A and B are shown apart, each in its own frame.
Chain A
Amino acid sequence: MVAPHYTDSEALTHDTFIALMNALAFPGRVFTLPTASTDESFRAIADTLLDIETSYYTPDAEWMPYLERSGSHAQTPDQAAYWFVPNRLDLDLVAQASVGTMLNPQDASTLILGCQLSAGQTTVWRGPGIQSTIAVQLAGIPEQFWKLRQQMIHYPMGWDAFFVEGNRVIGLPRTTLVQE
């Protein structure tokens, strides 16, 4: 009988997907990716989310060959479905991220951002998936990031983000209200 084999790579993307899904369901909570470093996490997330019908943007040219392995194609920041920014997030670029449209809010970008968790500025998050509030510490995010985010999000339009360090990930859906 022909059966699809549950390969190591499928297990990796499966576990990665579960972590990403939970991260968006419970904003601010730290979830663990089945990886050992930030680079590995970015690779696992790319393997999980990208395929021939998706698009990506990365300011880091070194990452492009890996992101294209899946058949995904490079796009400009305002068109790309997934952003891979392992470091040095440029605020001018974030301003170009797609927020989707009222009819198709799912066309918005998803930003995968490398940063330091449990260091730097503390923000207070609340909204769906958070019991009252949760304090989240992030470093390596530009100072004006939160203000810009607030300006860009008009629910249901707006982008979602994942913050990644090592094998840890925090999800930030567009529904979360962030207080500096």
Chain B
Amino acid sequence: MAYVATKGGEQAIDQSERFYHALKGNVTLEAVQTVLETMPYLVDRVLGEGSLYAPELAALALVQSGGDLYEAVLLLRAYRSTQPRIAYAQPITTERMTTIRRISAAFKDIPGGQILGPSLDYSHRILRTDVLEGGAVEPTPAVDLADQPAPRSYPLVADWERENRLLVQIPRANNPTNPSDIPDVTRDPITMPAPRAHRLQALARAETGGVLALGYAGMRGYGFTHPTVNELRLAYADLEMVHPISGEPFGVGRFRMSQAEIISSGGGGGVGYKLGYTATMGWNEVKLIAGATLDMEMNQAEPHPAHTEDFVLYHTESVEASGFCIHFKLPHYVTFASGMDSIRKVIQAEYPASKEGYTSPEPSESTKMVTA
């Protein structure tokens, strides 16, 4: 990356930054609160990609960046990197999550039943232009309360499938894993093949659009997997810590998380279904289904080149990808001048007649020989 250091132009840079801020709204507590209350799915997306569960900070990042998602995720990750790690939370199990949506496209009668939860899956999507005209908007009727509250938790569909030998059994770990031994993609460089932990962490904070693009390519036929959503789950998980003195677990809060499992019988050899998985902080169904599909594609013995582990993990990394892309705006004068010098030399040597007004000259005999 040979770009020269930018010197001078400080006043222009200062004015440019002011101009940028002048063209977007003020960063106020009120604006942050509005984003937090009215755009929970956007906030979820940013905090998931930022790998920092802090809805207030994600909303602030969105307001501060004028809604530029890449900037918002960058701000959140930069803030995250300044925070010391003070303790490890207890593992979270699916069975203990407070689940408010749990559906399966594989079986209708899954153990515990289909819980539709909050969704637009079966609704018409119509832009409410009447709002812009100030017309009276009827408030959406509140949810009718059920006679009996729904259960807080639901069993895993995959557990039922394992009991029925449709899926391979996974041995339960007897010894608890030491949290500090778990590879951490936020601190370690990724090497290939990536540890399972790195892959799932990278998918959890991957850029939603990137995951969708690659996952969708697989679904359309560039991959081996026709995904069946075995289970899609939106939940609140309790964050528990162990008290440093008493050794007793205690709750420190609750956070929105979501996970998806897809199954497929295609590819990879062996009898029975294979399972792909993705989980993320916040609720982000598109990313989960695409991510779980990619998880399965990456498991193929010979995946499509765009579905290998290093292709997927490197190219869905939001901050690195967007940062590398926009760095090309910065001055590359030396690189360009070097290339241009070479081209000028070639033009002068090979096309001497065209010094004035260069218009698609015929190549000379020597060039023809070289290119032949």
Contacts and interface: CB of A to CB of B under 8 A. Distances in A.
Interface of A: 1-4, 14, 17, 50-53, 70-71, 103-104
A52 B178 CA distance: 13
A51 B56 contact: no
Interface of B: 29, 32-33, 36, 54, 56-57, 82, 84-88, 180, 184, 187, 189, 191
A104 B85 CA distance: 21
> Nearest 7 pairs between A and B by C-beta?
A51-B84, A51-B85, A52-B85, A53-B85, A2-B56, A1-B56, A3-B56
A70 B84 contact: yes
A1 B33 CA distance: 8
B164 to A, nearest CB: 42
Given A1-B33, A104-B189, A52 B180 contact: yes
Nearest to A3: B56
B345 to A, nearest CB: 32
Contacts of A1: 29, 32-33, 36, 56
Contacts, number: 32
B29 A71 contact: no
Contacts of A14: 82
B86 A71 contact: yes
15 contacts: A1-B32, A1-B33, A1-B36, A2-B54, A2-B56, A4-B54, A14-B82, A50-B84, A51-B85, A51-B86, A52-B84, A52-B87, A52-B180, A53-B184, A103-B191
Contacts of A70: 84
A51 B88 CA distance: 12
A71 B179 CA distance: 14
A52 B29 CA distance: 33
A137 B36 CA distance: 54
Contact of A52 (B32, B57, B82, B86): B86
B32 A71 contact: no
Nearest to A48: B84
B290 to A, nearest CB: 31
Contacts of A50: 84
A21 to B, nearest CB: 11
Given A1-B33, A3-B56, 14 more contacts: A1-B56, A2-B56, A4-B54, A4-B57, A50-B84, A51-B85, A52-B84, A52-B86, A52-B87, A52-B88, A52-B180, A53-B85, A53-B187, A71-B85
